[in-house]
Every structure is written in structure tokens, then in C-alpha cells.
Structure 1
Amino acid sequence: MKKLVCLIGVMMVLVGCTPPPQTLSVVGNTWLGYQPYYAEQVLHPEAIPANIHITMLTSDVSVVRMVANGAAQAALLSLDNALSLQTRTDLKLCIAQVINSSHGADAIYAPPGFDINDRQQPWVVGMEDSALARYLLARWMRLHDIPERQVRREIILPNQHATAYAAGVTDIFVTYAPFSQKLASMGAEQIFSSREIPGEIIDTLVVKQESWQQHQAALKRLTGPVWDKALTAALDPQHTYYQALQTLSGINAEELRQSLASLTLYNSAASRTFLQQDYARVQQQVSEQLVASGIHQVITPLPICEGVL
């Protein structure tokens, strides 16, 4: 365990480092579903294809910025974030992998006693400046007939939610695992989650199409045998990878168990099945909600990378 903590400490120091030239850079935030990749990078970096570098960043904002400015060629993103990025830019992304679907891991929390019917004053909503946070908030508001004037958004990074909650100046937090577990441990209560919008929040690996063509063999290895091995190990409570997820997330074993129960993680075979059978429907559904929520007027589709199926 001591070795594990030291290795992860090294990884944290290296977060944000520029990969060598000719390397395909994959970036993602601290979302629990992505962490088998990070654990693999820490514990068995030799298993990662030599021309691929995976970096964990603190927020979706940082991830989107790095892809948009060309510092990264691939990203771990929720589908709504990926569609938003595809729509706002001319990056020409494609989807290489479906990593997980969320069944409660993305959620809205409030202090005990929060009354959704008490609308005398606007609520201060702490949230990341991302398409996913805006999407989740918009879905909650639409489903509960909450008018726009009732919320006042305040941009707070997920790793600062606990501090803001302790300060008591924010009414509601739009968050996700593992940060939601910290809020819950402080007494916050879940008032809405992705469980109420089943099938709408999935997480993906998206790649610039040009980069996919250049690195297709390495990416197929990454999303196939490398991912499957890391995922199997990460779901085993007795395995070092499970301990790595605890350390990366900053939560204990029971909190990790609860978090993992709130999402479905896909191995490579399940990812291909999802892309074949469900992706078109889910992409259409999420696109319609992004438009209905006022986030975009029209959505640019995100195709499946050539050769994935």
C-alpha cells in the first residue's frame, strides 16, 4: 500500500505535464468511471501503448480547453460534454469507447431540510462550468417546473464543493462521484440524480478523427485488452487497483463501493454492443435535451470512429 501511495503521489506531480512529441495525449477529469485508466497508468505504465499518454485533470473545463487548443487529441468526457464540444468547434471528433452509464453517480445535493417548494428567494447553485453540470441542472429544473429566475449559478470546481458547503453560502450543488460522497459525509442530502433520467448520462472516450486514423491500432489496444484488464482489477475489492481507486478518489472502501454501485462500467465487448444497439438512440435523446434545455440551438452529431465496430 505504501508503494501504491508513493506511485500515485508521483502521478499527481505529473498531472498536466506535456507528453513527448508524436504522443497521443488523452485527458480526463477525476470522474470515478475513468479511474481504471489512471490506475493502469500508475501501476503498470508499461501496459499503456508507448505512444499514448493519459493525464488526469481537475475539471471538465481543463479537459475541454486542452482538446480545443490542440494540447490533447483525445478526451474522456460525458456524452453531453462531447456533443457540446463537437458542436462548438470544428475538431471533428469521433467516439471510440463507451466507458459507463450513470445511475445516480451524477447528482444534485442540498443541505438537510431543503424545501423545493420554498421559492421566496433564488437558490445559489454551485456548479462546474461544463455542459454536463448545465445539463443535469436543466433536467432537474424542467422535471420539477422550476423557473429560471429561481436559480443563481455560481461557478465552483467540484474539488471545492465541500469547502463551499462548509461555508454555508451555497444552497445547491451539482456534482458527481467521488465529490458527491464527500458532501454526503458532511450531511448533504441528494435531491436529484441521474437515476431519474435513465440512459441519458454516459461517459465516453472521444478522439480527433485525424488522430484516430494515425493511432488506431494503439487506441484499439488501449480500449480493448488494456481497459478490460484494468477494469476487472479495479472492481475487485481485494486488488491493488481497488486501493488505487480509493486513493485517487479520496474516499474509503465503503464510499467507493456505494459509488461503483451507482454506475454501470462497460468492458470492451459491452461498449461495442452499446455502440451497435443503443448509441444512435441515446445520442438523439441527449441531443434533443441539450437543445430543449437551451444549451445549444442545434447539435453536431458525434460519429463512431471508423473500424470500432
Structure 2
Amino acid sequence: MLKPLLLVALLILGACSKQHESLNLAGNTWLGYQPLYLIQARYACPDCNLEVLPGRSMKITMMPSTTMVLRLLGAKQLDAAMLTLDEAISFQSNTGIAICVAAALSYSNGADAALVMPGFDPNKQQLKVGYEETALGGYMLHRTVEKLGWPREKLAMQLLVPKNHVDALTQGQVDVVITYEPYRSQLKKQGAQVLFDSKALTGEIVDILVVQQASWAQHRELLINMIAKQWQEGVTILNTFSATELAFLQQSTTLKADELASALSGMQFFDAAQNEVFLIEKLPMVIEQMNTYLLNSKQISKPAELPACDLVR
């Protein structure tokens, strides 16, 4: 049975699509997706559609959770979605739905990190490591352990919900915590030190725009234009926001002003040239890495097929 909020979203998106024949795109409240929400907030027309080209518009919806975005994408009520790479790979592997990557939007450049308190001893017989039970949390743990050369047998893993990351480390429940903003900044304020972060994993923890392949064939020109113009304009706004836009971001992301600034400093947004290079040169490699990790950790049963959209024929 569909939950009431999901049913309402389906009805709204379905009605909008039939009435306006616009492209439907959605994402969750993550900061990396806010450029499009900022554009819509600044320029959206009264019927909530953003005109990208003359007579060609798109409906942009900010959903409260990734789960809802994926359900709508799976029900083909969305043409496109903003997701993390691991979410897109898991979705495609588990559903078999043909999607492609239209753009790389942003990547973690220090926002995800392994932190320890002063006096941390890496030579302890056993290290207690806390992390979030998500594919991304597990991947960050995997790459941290790999990069630091820690033997797996000395690690005692502990699953932690994000809101408990700060207390778990500062109160000694774990020796290391794998976390992200705003908890990274909150821990640093309490004296925690960054042992390893995503600056060493350039482009691996990445936000992408995925599109139903049938929708790409229909809306290719609109999407290419949106990525080159509206998305880039939104990134500019995100880096130079006004007081009104700051209030919008705080409400959307539930981050305080200083937490927003810190989170943004740990993220890198792709420009048009970087996006093209990433899709051609790096996307296949990071998909292979994530496929391998998710297969080995038994989170998927077969590799995902996730080509760049321009390679779809």
C-alpha cells in the first residue's frame, strides 16, 4: 500500500506531467542538489514549472527522503533524479530499469571524513570504528581502511545513526568515526582530528543526475541546456547567496549558517568542462569501483549498467 505522502506526490507529478508535458525531476534535501531548488525558488513560474527552453519546461520537486525519490523513479513517475552514485547503482542493479548518467553534479572534497580524538593510538590491538549503515558509509569505511593500511582483523565495526556520531567519539564509545557534515564540523569544535577524508578520493563520492533512457531520448536538448545554464547558475547562487536564499537553504537542509559554510567548503561542484571530462574519463572507473564494493559486500547481486547518457543509442 502506498503511503499517503507518496500517493500525493504521485498524483501531483502525474497531473503536472499530463497537463504540461514537462520533464519531472526530483531529489532529496541534500545540499549538493540545492542549486536547482534555488533556481526554482528564484525564477519558478506560478504553476511550479521552470521554463528551460521556449515552450519546454521541467518540474523540480524536493522530496523529504531518497526512499521516496527512488520509489517514484521506479514507478516511472520521474524522468530524472538527483542521486549519489551508490544509490543509482543499487537502484539499477535491483530494478533492471534502464537509466543513464546525464551529468556529474558535485563530489565530496573533504566533507566525508574519518575522525579521532587527541591521543588516538592506531597501534591498539583493536580499533572500534563507528559508521552509518548505508552503502556510502560502508564505502567510505572501506576506502579509509584500504588507504590507511589497517588490517581488517583488528577492526571492531559499530553501526551508528548519524545523530550519535559526535557523542560516540567524544565519549569514547568508538576510537574512530566515519562521518560527514555537519557532524564533522561539530566534532572538530570539540577537538577531534581528521585522520582521513574524501580529498584523497577525488570524484569517488559523487552526486549525479540520472535519467530514464526513454526520457533522455525525448528530452535530451532540454536536459543538456539545463545542465549548462540553470544548474551552473544555481551553483553560482549557492556560493554567493543572499539573506533570503540563506534562509531558504537553512530551512531546506536544516543546517545552520556556519554548518552550511563548512559543508560547502568540503564539496566541489562540476562546471560544464569538468562534467564532460568526468563522464568520459572517470565515470566508468568509479562505477566499476562501486559495483565491486557493493557486490563484495552483498548489497547487490549483479553489476549495474549505468552508461553516460550520450552513449545511449
TM bucket normalised to smaller? 0.7 to 0.9
Query: Whole-Å Cα distance in 2 between the matches of residues 72 and 25 of structure 1?
Result: 5
Query: Whole-Å Cα distance in 2 between the matches of residues 99 and 297 of structure 1?
Result: 27
Task: Check conservation: 2:105, 2:207, Cα contact below 8 A.
Answer: yes
User: What secondary structure does 1:116 align onto?
Assistant: coil
1:20 corresponds, among 13, 17, 25, to 13
1:152 pairs with 2:145: no
The amino acid that maps onto 2:42 is L
Structure 1 residue 130: Cα displacement? 2.7
Task: Check conservation: 2:28, 2:69, Cα contact below 8 A.
Answer: yes
1:141 corresponds, among 129, 142, 145, to 145
Task: Check conservation: 2:250, 2:257, Cα contact below 8 A.
Answer: yes
1:211 pairs with 2:204: no
Corresponding residue for 2:50? Answer: 48
Give structure 1 stretches of 5+ with no counterpart: 1-13
Corresponding residue for 2:36? Answer: 37
User: What secondary structure does 1:91 align onto?
Assistant: coil
Corresponding residue for 1:93? Answer: 99
Query: Whole-Å Cα distance in 2 between the matches of residues 169 and 67 of structure 1?
Result: 39
**Mapping for residues 133-212 of structure 1, pairs under 5 Å:** 133-143=137-147, 144-147=149-152, 150-154=155-159, 156=161, 158=162, 161=165, 172-212=176-216
Task: Check conservation: 1:16, 1:55, Cα contact below 8 A.
Answer: no
**Mapping for residues 112-151 of structure 1, pairs under 5 Å:** 112-120=118-126, 123=128, 125-127=130-132, 129-143=133-147, 144-147=149-152, 150-151=155-156
Structure 1 residue 251: Cα displacement? 4.1
User: What secondary structure does 1:203 align onto?
Assistant: strand
Task: Check conservation: 1:31, 1:177, Cα contact below 8 A.
Answer: no
Select between 194-203 and 294-303 the one with higher mean Cα deviation.
294-303
Select between 94-103 and 83-92 the one with higher mean Cα deviation.
83-92
Task: Check conservation: 2:84, 2:205, Cα contact below 8 A.
Answer: yes
Give structure 2 stretches of 5+ with no counterpart: 52-56
User: What secondary structure does 1:278 align onto?
Assistant: helix
Task: Check conservation: 1:31, 1:176, Cα contact below 8 A.
Answer: no
Query: Whole-Å Cα distance in 1 between the matches of residues 63 and 121 of structure 2?
Result: 37
Structure 1 residue 99: Cα displacement? 0.6
Query: Whole-Å Cα distance in 2 between the matches of residues 61 and 171 of structure 1?
Result: 31
Structure 1 residue 182: Cα displacement? 3.6
Corresponding residue for 1:5? Answer: none
Structure 1 residue 166: Cα displacement? 7.8
Query: Whole-Å Cα distance in 2 between the matches of residues 224 and 142 of structure 1?
Result: 36
Task: Check conservation: 2:185, 2:259, Cα contact below 8 A.
Answer: yes
**Mapping for residues 221-236 of structure 1, pairs under 5 Å:** 221-236=225-240
1:265 corresponds, among 269, 286, 293, to 269
Task: Check conservation: 2:27, 2:62, Cα contact below 8 A.
Answer: yes
Task: Check conservation: 1:106, 1:177, Cα contact below 8 A.
Answer: yes
Quick one: structure 1 residues 153 and 94, their matched pair in 2 at CA, closer, same or farther if it must change by over 3 Å?
Answer: farther
User: What secondary structure does 2:309 align onto?
Assistant: coil
Query: Whole-Å Cα distance in 2 between the matches of residues 172 and 29 of structure 1?
Result: 28
Between the two proteins, what is the percent identity of the paired residues?
Answer: 31
Quick one: structure 1 residues 171 and 245, their matched pair in 2 at CA, closer, same or farther if it must change by over 3 Å?
Answer: farther
Q: What root-mean-square deviation, in Å, do the aligned CA atoms of Structure 1 and Structure 2 show?
A: 3.7
Structure 1 residue 208: Cα displacement? 1.8
Which string of whole-angstrom CA distances, capped at 9 and with x for unpartnered residues, describes residues 100-148 of structure 1?
A: 122211223345544433344x636240x43211111111223332426
Query: Whole-Å Cα distance in 2 between the matches of residues 98 and 145 of structure 1?
Result: 31
Query: Whole-Å Cα distance in 2 between the matches of residues 15 and 218 of structure 1?
Result: 27
What is the TM-score with the length of structure 1 in the denominator?
A: 0.75
Give the length in aligned residue pairs: 292
**Mapping for residues 77-92 of structure 1, pairs under 5 Å:** 77-92=83-98
The amino acid that maps onto 1:39 is L
The amino acid that maps onto 1:262 is G
Find the structure with the greater CA-based Rg. Answer: 2
Query: Whole-Å Cα distance in 2 between the matches of residues 106 and 31 of structure 1?
Result: 14
Which string of whole-angstrom CA distances, capped at 9 and with x for unpartnered residues, describes residues 163-209 of structure 1?
A: 76688756554333344334434554433211222332222111221
Query: Whole-Å Cα distance in 2 between the matches of residues 114 and 57 of structure 1?
Result: 37
